[in-house]
Amino acid sequence: MLAAIVLTHDEEKHLPGCLASAEWADEVIVFDSFSADRTIEIAHSAGARVIQRQFDNYAGQRDAALQCTSAEWVLFVDADERVTSELAQEVREVLARPEAGWWVPRYNYIFGRLTRHAGWYPDYQLRLLRRARASYDPARPVHELVRLDGQAGYLKEHFIHLNYETIPEFIAKQKYYAAYDASRLAAEGVRARPHHFILQPLRQFWWRFITLAGWRDGWHGLRLSLLMGWFEFEKYRLLQKSHLPNSKSPK
């Protein structure tokens, strides 16, 4: 048995398409953190089972979701992702294999454009899990890490990820990630040095645009690489701020 689990919080925009793409699963569960929009109504209308839990962090939420089903296999699908018919077929084909989990590649659409370079492809996600042999590392509350008892394989078919639609949305999420990374570095005792504000953004840009061939995406790749370089600067600015007097944590 396979359960498709969707974590949600105010996902009325994306949820109908997501649930429609996952209806082939034996069980569909919407694991919600008390949405205030029509998320629950949409989930019930689609025939999904709804479970609500107060959000603490992504690792805790996914780990709790693993315990809410008796299915042998779990496929985590984000609300802004779609399961193609080809991916659904491949998932069904591998369930009888001995692997404890499977990595799924993603096609990321950023600002409405399929982005194949600058670090956004193949963007493998460990999302198909043999439930009894998987858990999430509590030390990684963001960019959660699966602890898998056994080997993982790699699927060929893709999720469709309707990623950032607008630049403001992209900026807001990257600010969140920059603050998280700065907090993590501060907890590790790392301090921002003057050269970090120049070298680290330049390295990030070079890595995205040259090493990961962002240039192949033209102006789109250049813009993304520049933005990621800027947020590398932002990370160290917040790290420096966290060590100033009367400063508790990056904001």
β-pairing, 27-32 vs 49-52, is parallel
* 248 pLDDT more than 70: no
Q: Is residue 249 part of a domain?
A: no
Instruction: Identify whether residues 105 and 197 lie together within a single domain.
Output: no
Instruction: Identify whether residues 181 and 103 lie together within a single domain.
Output: no
Residue 209's nearest CA partner among 177, 201, 179 is 201
Q: Is residue 51 part of a domain?
A: yes
Domain of 126? 2-162
DSSP state of 33: S
CA 184 distance to own-chain centroid: 18
pLDDT at res. 247: 54
Find the CATH number of the domain harbouring 147.
3.90.550.10
The CA distance from 54 to 7, in Å, is 12
pLDDT band at 246 (very low <50, low <70, confident <90, very high): low
Q: Is residue 247 part of a domain?
A: no
* 97 pLDDT more than 80: yes
The CA distance from 24 to 125, in Å, is 20
Give the tens place of pLDDT for each residue, 171-218: 999 999 999 899 989 999 999 999 999 999 999 999 999 999 999 999
pLDDT band at 91 (very low <50, low <70, confident <90, very high): very high
Instruction: Identify whether residues 15 and 30 lie together within a single domain.
Output: yes
Q: Which residue has the tokens 């692997």?
A: 99
* 250 pLDDT more than 90: no
Instruction: Find the mean pLDDT for residues 55-59.
Output: 92
* 10 pLDDT more than 90: yes
Two tokens at 214? 């962002």
Give the tens place of pLDDT for each residue, 144-183: 899 999 999 999 999 999 999 999 999 999 999 999 899 9
Instruction: Identify whether residues 158 and 173 lie together within a single domain.
Output: no
pLDDT at res. 139: 85
| CA distance readout (Å), 216 to 111, 199, 208, 221, 250 | 16, 24, 11, 7, 35
Question: Average per-residue pLDDT in the chain?
Answer: 95
The CA distance from 3 to 26, in Å, is 6
Question: Exposed/middle/buried for 248, CB within 10 Å: 0-12, 13-18, 19+?
Answer: exposed
CA 103 distance to own-chain centroid: 13
Q: State the total domains in the chain.
A: 2
Q: Is residue 232 part of a domain?
A: yes
Instruction: Annotate 84-99 with b (16+ C-beta within 10 A) or e (fewer).
Output: eeebbebbeeeeeeeb
Which of 138, 162, 186 represents a domain boundary (last residue)? Answer: 162
Strands (E), the chain: 2-8, 27-32, 49-52, 73-76, 81-83, 101-104, 106-110, 113-114, 125-130, 134-136, 146-148, 152-154, 159-162
What is the pTM for the complete model shown?
Answer: 0.89
Which of 162, 197, 232 represents a domain boundary (last residue)? Answer: 162
